[in-house]
Structure 1
Amino acid sequence: MCFNNIKTANEKLYDLIIDAKSSSSKKRYSDEKLTFSKLTNWRFNELPIQVKERYELGNAYITQDELYFLVLWKLNLGSFKPIAHHIKKNMPEDVIKITNRAFNALLAFFMESKQIKEYVIEDIKLYGELVGGAIEILKELAGVGTATASLVLNCLQGINENLSPPFITEESIMYLFSNENLLKKIDTNFYIKEMLPVYFGLIKDNDLNLNFSTIERGVTSIYHYKLHQSIFSFASPFSEEDWFKFSPSESVKSYQKEFEDQSIPTGFKMRMNAEAMAARATTQNNSAPESNSSWIEQALTTNNSTIGISKSTTSQPSTKSDMKTQIKVLSGVNALTELSVTTAQRVFSVQQKLESLEDKIEDCVAENQKLFVKVDQLEAIVRVQNQKILDILGGLEDMVAESLGSDSKRRKLGI
């Protein structure tokens, strides 16, 4: 059974593969302090706890440094691409604000959601659209695409282990779909319509205690092990000969069919829905207005990262005057942020009205089409009647011509 192999791979292969990759690499991270194994431990165990602690203090987010090291971890887990430097192009406060907005969109949903095993297809579709909106928010950051955004959102597992969105890897796509061309099509729609149905289907089929991260580590391990089995020193934990093949269950196929027929909202609409949900979470978390204009400043000036990263990427004020200036700037930025959230809610309201108007227009168009059909039918009837009249007139002309011919003959004969 595919899930048993995924579970086995998570439990017996993942750590061994990470250690093997770490041992074979001379790379070190965070001022040469961390091996890849330790960076992996930070990604799964320490950073999610840090995000949870920030959430309990009022605001969940990650810093620019943490985002940078998440991307480094992601790139070294799979096929390395030199793109991590793009993260440095973002302003540190932008990373905090944008990740906070994306997290809040899902945290509000977490607070209102039922248990994942109780989900029906409508719940899954709503979940998918909100995750899609959070992904679109995170894409505002330079160097962040769909896969990286899903990795950032997975950091919420410290707050809700079962509902934190799955991180999609190239390895998971290759194992689940065996189609290399799909690696070029990784976008928000692909994540919602192709990946989520498989993950939810696997959870539905099994009563075991599992979550999206368990599945992600399992499927990634299976593909890694299949690809590099010859160089690994540890034996295969699988008993089946076709352990590396994924066969979708009936539940997975059912969800895939449901999502295949689903009309996915535009990225803009998903983002507006997520922004509205994020605004709701912000209102619930921050009862005092002044807190909205101070927490980002505190996050920038406090090095509370679990990885012990230096603060070199975050500029610090050198004088009291600089500090006052930065506080004023941050206050202005936060005021604009609050205004943008309000504007986003208004835009969403206008968009709903426009959609209602579009529905009415579609109804009018449908009625017009019915009228056009009736007009066409009337035109056909008129054409038939006209032809009958023309036929009668033609007959009359023949009769008149025949009568005139008879008169002419009689005159010639003197009759």
Structure 2
Amino acid sequence: MKLAMVAGEASGDLLASLLIGGLRAHWPTLALAGVGGPKMVAQGFEAWWSSERLAVRGYVEVLRHYRGLKRLRDELGDRLLAERPAAFIGVDAPDFNLGLEARLKAAGIPAIHFVCPSIWAWRGGRAKKMVASCDHVLCLFPFEPALLRQHGVAATFVGHPLADAIPLDPPRAAARAALGLADDAAVVAVLPGSRASEIRTIAPTFLQTAVRLQRERPALRFVLPVAPGLGPLVDPLIAEHAPGLDLLRLEGRSHEALAACDLTLIASGTATLEAALFKRPMVIGYRMHPLSWQLMKRMAYQPWVGLPNILAREFLVPERIQDACTPAQLAVDVLVGLDDAARADRLRARFTAMHHELRRDTATAATRAIAEVLHA
């Protein structure tokens, strides 16, 4: 049997790679192809195009790449209609995938969407579009299926695959040993995003924050994991904004960095959930094109942007967005987080409860739901 998949950017590549294991356990001779990244390819996925092609965020940024993205979606749709896989699984990337899914579903190819778009946070009108696009939605969070069913969209809560992949008790000592960090060192992990556009916008602020922090506390160590292929973008920014910083720059290895750190300065996105699953205090920062920010801010339904805060329905961790995302403010937040041991203990307890709620053997649960859609 052949399934087609499209995963956008690094987080989609990770989610899809974790799902592929469950699919292969159910269908050992399964063939998988479409748009994917290195983690999917390592699982035997045939990437016709790289998921990096879809790594664009924000209205203004998408407009710049619109023609190329539309051409890619049209070409992919033509190829899938010719090859007719048993089903299509769109992994996140709703702006790209929902339109493609609608075309395939109309042609009789079952369309499954993995990761409910954040209709509970903004752009709730997408729910109507999903009726025409999706035969089934695999939801990462427990409150999403009921919300989708209100709009007539079939959905199943399958848990979050990262909750299965990340141990309940993070291996701090082993991670520090692997990275050559002393057990008693104060370590801050710096994660400025996995998209090139995010790194250009956010990394300078994060690096300037690290310089301020080390000036105030010279013993601080910094670890910066870089998504594969983005080193040539990050290294000049380090040289420009943080020359001489005591910084360990890693190729990938973000999970080791999160396991090893005492706190992370992190861009909003899936990585914030990873940090929560590693039970790490965090300071969330984010910047985007000013016009994109104004448009998104007007459509927001809730005050939080970070996934840990959204799931908790409160500000468990600080969020510094757009104009509030400055080196001075971020440095203050990081120092408060490093010095407040009681708060770190409370966060650990909340994040542990969150981890248990999301741990559902996602690969198996999602595969079971897909098999029911396909009657296979």
Would you say same fold, with TM above 0.5?
no
Q: TM-score, normalised by structure 2?
A: 0.28
For the pair shown, which has the larger CA radius of gyration, 1 or 2?
A: 1
Q: Please state which structure has a larger fraction of its residues in helix.
A: 1
Highest RCO, 1 vs 2 (Cα 8 Å, sep ≥ 6):
1
Superposition TM-score, scaled by structure 1 size: 0.26
